[in-house]
Amino acid sequence: MSDALVTLEGVTKTYSGITALDNVGFTIAAGEAVCLAGENGSGKSTLIKILAGVEQADRGRIAFAGVDQGPLNPRLSAAAGIKVIFQDFSLFPNLSVAENIAFSAEIGEGARLFHKRRVHDLAARTLKRIGVDIPLGVAVETLSVAHKQLVAICRALATEARLIIMDEPTTALTEREVRVLLDIIRRLKADGVAVLFVSHKLAEVLEVCEHVVVLRNGQKVAEGPAHEFDAAILTRHMTGRDVAGTPPVPLPASAPVLMEVSGLNKEGACSDISFTLRAGEVLGVSGLLGSGRTTLAKALFGLVKPDRGTIKLDGKIVPLGDPVAAAEAGIGYVPEDRLTEGLFLTQSILQNVAIGRLDAHGARAGLLDLGAAVSEARDWLGRLSVKTSNPEAPVRSLSGGNQQRVVLARWMARSPRVLILNGPSVGVDVGSKSEIHAIIAGLAAQGLGVIVISDDLPEVLTTCHRVLVMKAGRIVEDIDAVSISETDLAHRLAS
């Protein structure tokens, strides 16, 4: 096709002998949305970098609007209208919305002086173009994740944009925010702007895409019109195997009540929360962002102190607002944002697991038996099949799925009774996700009570026996997960 906006042919890239991209080719037409799917390590990040000019391909042809390109650099790519919105958005938290939007445009024009009026006008125009209203003067650090993403989109649009590449656009968004994003994408397409979604969580953007390309181990394994793909087919191509979403094993009627929560109340966040959790049960808590699901999770583990209410574990009252007491009582909590709340990123993988057990290995005269702690940690890493060549490496070096397993391993080593998982597979690729789900099922089979807090509905339905729907801080429904479909659940969440 000569009228294609971007043409890739036989693009190959190797890093020190490892082939990251192997003979990949596809085209993107103006006004078209393309889905580039692949697990972590499939080569999709490399492809973004090559298109953005950050890395150069070893072999292959790249053409913009039919014109062959030599070696690219970031400035050439940007001049050709290729804009990448990175997963972290690359915004300036301390600067205003207006400045963030206009910054690259001003630099691109080689401006020396800073004209506040011009910057504001440009920002206002761009926001209007996507039909969004965000105050121009506020600092970006005060915005929500969804708004930050919109600012990043506007920054890409502020200069001539022909292709917007979005890296993992939906991982941090709730369903409703994804809707808003999709509407904006439709507007952009109508304007003739092409969009390349790069993600491992793509089912939800399929509806606005014309074309799907799937990468696995650096090779293109599937390509075709979007209507030929659904979540299951995508997953099969991405992983190379069937990852079946089997519902959990039914709970025996005799399962004893493990945890009893009654009248839990936190002013302004959640009110009058009562439920029971039985041994071996996986309980889902779902709700939109701001529904109080995270506050509830934190309250159960004592990170937030409720105003009133009781939490009983095995009939014994757990003190409120005290995470140490909660952990001692046998409650474990895996936070949503494992990077800032769950892991010591620069410390070794082993240390990250062993730290949960220091008290158990520190009994002898207050001295730490590091050897025992480390060998126990090693054992747990093996049992949860954390893939690493070197357990002494910093935990930061692991993929999202493996990081999540490290957090899990830390709690498992403490043999908890109840494990609370907040967003267990956020930022985790499809293959690891199903393995984490298998781990959850395994935990429940051992008689643990598991609480899964998530707005990923397929995840809730494959892992949970029962789902509590939260809205405005209250539990509005208690649903048997086996009897409900995904669309029905989505409807109940949003209505």
Q: What residues make contact with another protein under the rule CB under 8 A?
A: 74-75, 78, 86, 90-95, 99, 103-104, 106-108, 111-114, 155, 268-269, 294-295
CA distances to 86, 180, 289, 411 from 396, rounded to whole Å, are 19, 32, 27, 19
* Shortest distance, position 297 Cβ to another protein, whole Å: 12
By beta-carbon proximity to another protein, the closer residue of 104 and 347 is: 104
CB contact at 8 A, 7 and 66: yes
β partners of residue 21: 13
Residues 69 and 11: their CA atoms lie apart, in Å, by: 13
CA angle (311 as vertex; 305, 312 as ends), nearest 5? 150
Query: Closer to another protein at the Cβ: 89 or 380?
Result: 89
- Least distance (Å) between residue 41 CB and another protein: 22
In the complex, minimum distance from the CB of residue 113 to another protein, in angstroms, rounded to a whole number: 6
Q: Which is nearer to another protein, 103 or 275 (CB)?
A: 103
Q: 165 is written with which tokens?
A: 């590449």
CA torsion sign for 454, 460, 463, 468 is positive
Q: How far is the CB of 296 from another protein (least distance, A)?
A: 12
Q: Which is nearer to another protein, 54 or 221 (CB)?
A: 54
Buried b (16+ CB within 10 A) or exposed e, 238-251: bbeeebebeebeee
CA distances from 391 to 81, 308, 321, 350, 398 (A): 43, 43, 34, 6, 10
What residues contact 182, with CB distance under 8 A and at least 6 apart?
A: 204, 205, 207, 208
User: Can you tell me the distance from the alpha carbon of 461 to that of 484, in angstroms, rounded to the nearest whole number?
Assistant: 8
Q: 155 or 465: whose CB is closer to another protein?
A: 155
Yes or no: say if 40 and 397 are a contact pair by the CB < 8 Å rule.
Answer: no
Q: What minimum distance in Å lies between the beta carbon of 93 and another protein?
A: 5
Residue spans of alpha helices (H) in 264-369: 293-300, 323-329, 349-354
Residue 194 · residue 37 · CB < 8 Å: no
Q: For the sheet containing 316-317, what is the strand order?
A: 270-278, 257-266, 308-313, 316-317
Contact status, residue 85 vs residue 49, Cβ threshold 8 Å: no
Least distance in Å: CB of 208 to another protein? 26
What is the smallest separation between the CB atom of 340 and another protein, expressed in angstroms? Answer: 13
The residues, ordered by sequence, that sit 6+ positions from 325 with a Cβ below 8 Å of its Cβ are 302, 318, 319
Backbone angles phi, psi at 373, to 5 degrees: -60, -45
In the complex, the smallest distance separating the C-beta of residue 481 from another protein, rounded to whole angstroms, is 28
Q: How far is the CB of 347 from another protein (least distance, A)?
A: 20
Between 18 and 113, name the residue whose CB sits nearer to another protein.
113
Burial of 121 (0-12, 13-18, 19+ CB in 10 A): middle
Amino acid at 25: G
Q: Could you tell me the sign of the dihedral formed by the alpha carbons of 261, 262, 267, 269, in that order?
A: positive
Q: Residue 110 corresponds to which amino acid?
A: G
CB of 28 to another protein, least distance (A): 22
Q: In which region does residue 2 sit, left (phi positive, over 0), alpha (psi from -120 to 50) or beta (all else)?
A: alpha
How far apart are alpha carbons 436 and 433 in whole angstroms? 5
In the complex, minimum distance from the CB of residue 100 to another protein, in angstroms, rounded to a whole number:
9
Cβ at position 418, least distance to another protein in Å: 23
